[in-house]
């Protein structure tokens, strides 16, 4: 099968037993990503378990076994492709105790696929996953109403779920939400349109995934965090100075004027280089080395940008964080903050609220955050952060907090635009700018 070059990243979520493993197995099988011996092994295992059908969920049993061994960040990635597009699928667990894992898997996704059981309708976990997808600014949300075969493919059951979900979706910052009725077990509406669902006039799931438009990586100008200064220790390269890193926003070309932060010095890009040779331009997520026209004091953690579109530079920031550690947030706690290629120390200046991730409503009465909680913090850093709001650029708008004595990552955060919440922290956090 020929594979398209366009790449879509998607994250799957859903409550336990909503059929997520079966759907993933179905997608892998239908896109011919399953070897014949794998399929035969699944076929034998299905018979041994007394099933009169091939249980495609068994294709992902290895992932569940890993979770049973207690892996900390148990997000498994699967790759599949069609002639139109390539896909990377982040398989995230459905249990409430793994909220942090859903955050991990969806943080880089272009699309979040949330499964619902047609018999159970909208559950607390369904709401939780939709809210988290909104907080993470996943551009597209697909609500797959699965197990339609168990409700006799009833249009009324599908319509009731869509109606029940509508009020929550109206309050969330979701660019697009789509409902698709499916039966992952029998393949209805997964790859091909099903005759058992004549009342549904939309595309089947895979066709939708092939056609959905990816959102821009960012809406900022050039963002180039410097990861490494290259100074070869050879006489023939004595004058060489290059700045290596990844373009995470905008486009950079030879001749462009750039601003180096935090120094504020200006220069021009002399060349844009890779191991294979120079480039006429580089865009996200290209890893390149930039050579500058002037010798500036630029080091790891600094950032190059276009002078007409600089990021925010500040030592006081507001952020939404998902708490990842069993040890709760310490009031006035001190942590290491890693942002792009810069690591600095940070002080928790205050917790404004904990977010109820089931309703997207803030609770300002809480004084701390525990495992899997989401809340809004004020932070002070010892050196300025060069950042954009997460809604504008995921790379320069995200960070992690690290407990310095244990080196444990305790939180993942999304930076907010300065004074983004005119209600003083009492508004609906899911709609932050």
Q: Which of 177, 211, 245 is the last residue of a domain?
A: 211
Residues 59 and 207 in one domain: yes
Residues 262 and 338 in one domain: no
Res 97: pLDDT: 65
pLDDT score of 53 more than 70: no
Res 423: pLDDT: 33
At 96, list the tokens. 């409430």
Does residue 55 sit within a domain?
yes
More confident residue, 234 or 110: 110
Residues 289 and 387 in one domain: no
pLDDT tens track for 228-277: 999 876 655 667 899 999 999 999 999 999 999 999 999 999 999 999 99
Cα–chain center distance at 356: 20
Rounded-to-integer distance, Cα 274 and Cα 271, Å: 10
Residues 39 and 181 in one domain: yes
DSSP element (H, E) containing 67: helix 61-68
Please compute the mean of the pLDDT values over residues 89-108 and round it to a whole number. 78
At 143, list the tokens. 């609500």
pTM of the model: 0.82
pLDDT tens track for 127-152: 888 888 888 889 899 999 999 999 99
Please compute the mean of the pLDDT values over residues 359-383 and round it to a whole number. 91
Provide the percentage of residues in the chain whose pLDDT is more than 70.
85
Please compute the mean of the pLDDT values over residues 92-106 and round it to a whole number. 75
Q: What is the mean pLDDT of the chain?
A: 85
Which of 40-49, 193-202, 225-234, 281-290 has the least mean pLDDT? Answer: 40-49
Does residue 217 sit within a domain?
no
Residues 43 and 81 in one domain: yes
Confidence tier at 419 by pLDDT (50, 70, 90): low
Res 432: pLDDT: 40
Res 54: pLDDT: 65
Beta-carbon contacts of 181 under 8 Å, excluding residues fewer than 6 positions away, are 118, 145, 148, 153, 158, 188, 189, 197, 200
Rounded-to-integer distance, Cα 387 and Cα 416, Å: 9
Res 68: pLDDT: 45
Confidence tier at 331 by pLDDT (50, 70, 90): confident
Res 318: pLDDT: 96
Please tell me the total count of domains within the chain.
3
Residues 44 and 186 in one domain: yes
Res 153: pLDDT: 96
Q: Which of 211, 236, 253 is the last residue of a domain?
A: 211
Residues 88 and 37 in one domain: yes
pLDDT score of 167 more than 80: yes
Q: What is the CATH number of the domain that holds 229?
A: 2.40.30.10
Residues 300 and 323 in one domain: no
Please compute the mean of the pLDDT values over residues 403-416 and round it to a whole number. 94
Confidence tier at 372 by pLDDT (50, 70, 90): confident
Does residue 15 sit within a domain?
yes
More confident residue, 290 or 424: 290
Contact between 119 and 147 under an 8 Å Cβ cutoff? The reply is yes
Residues 262 and 333 in one domain: no
Residues 261 and 136 in one domain: no
- 130: containing domain: 7-211
């Amino acid at each position: 099968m020929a594979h398209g070059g366009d790449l879509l990243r998607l994250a799957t979520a859903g409550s336990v037993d909503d059929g997520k493993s079966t759907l993933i197995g179905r997608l892998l099988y239908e896109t011919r990503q399953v070897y014949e011996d794998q399929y035969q092994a699944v076929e034998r295992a299905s018979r041994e378990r007394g099933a009169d059908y091939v249980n495609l969920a068994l294709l992902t049993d290895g992932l569940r076994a890993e979770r049973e061994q207690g892996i900390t960040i148990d997000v498994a990635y699967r790759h599949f492709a069609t002639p139109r597009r390539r896909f990377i699928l982040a398989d995230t667990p459905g249990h409430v105790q793994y909220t942090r894992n859903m955050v991990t898997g969806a943080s880089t996704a272009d699309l979040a696929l949330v499964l619902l059981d047609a018999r159970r309708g909208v559950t607390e976990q369904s709401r939780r996953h939709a809210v988290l997808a909104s907080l993470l600014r996943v551009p597209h949300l697909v609500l797959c109403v699965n197990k339609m075969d168990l409700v006799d493919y009833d249009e009324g059951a599908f319509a009731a779920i869509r109606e029940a979900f509508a009020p929550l979706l109206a309050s969330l910052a979701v660019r697009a939400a789509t409902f698709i009725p499916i039966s992952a077990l029998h393949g209805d509406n997964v790859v091909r349109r099903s005759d058992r669902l004549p009342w549904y006039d939309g595309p089947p799931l895979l066709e939708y995934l092939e056609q959905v438009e990816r959102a821009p990586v960012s809406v900022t100008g050039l963002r180039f965090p410097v990861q490494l200064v290259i100074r070869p220790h050879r006489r023939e390269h004595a004058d060489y100075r290059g700045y290596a890193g990844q373009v995470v926003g905008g486009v950079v070309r030879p001749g462009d004027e750039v601003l180096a932060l935090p120094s504020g010095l200006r220069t021009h890009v002399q060349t844009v280089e890779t191991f294979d040779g120079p480039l006429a331009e580089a865009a996200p997520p290209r890893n390149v080395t930039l050579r500058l026209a002037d010798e500036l004091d630029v080091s790891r953690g600094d950032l190059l940008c276009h002078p007409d579109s600089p990021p925010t530079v500040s030592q006081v920031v507001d952020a939404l964080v998902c708490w990842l550690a069993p040890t709760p947030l310490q009031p006035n706690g001190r942590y290491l903050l890693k942002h792009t290629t810069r690591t600095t120390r940070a002080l928790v200046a205050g917790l404004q609220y904990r977010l109820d991730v089931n309703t997207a409503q803030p609770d300002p009465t809480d004084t701390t955050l525990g495992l899997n909680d989401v809340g809004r913090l004020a932070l002070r850093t010892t050196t300025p952060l060069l950042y954009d709001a997460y809604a504008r650029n995921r790379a320069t708008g995200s960070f992690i907090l690290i407990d310095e004595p244990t080196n444990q990552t305790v939180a993942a955060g999304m930076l907010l635009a300065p004074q983004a919440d005119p209600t003083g922290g009492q508004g609906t956090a899911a709609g932050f700018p």
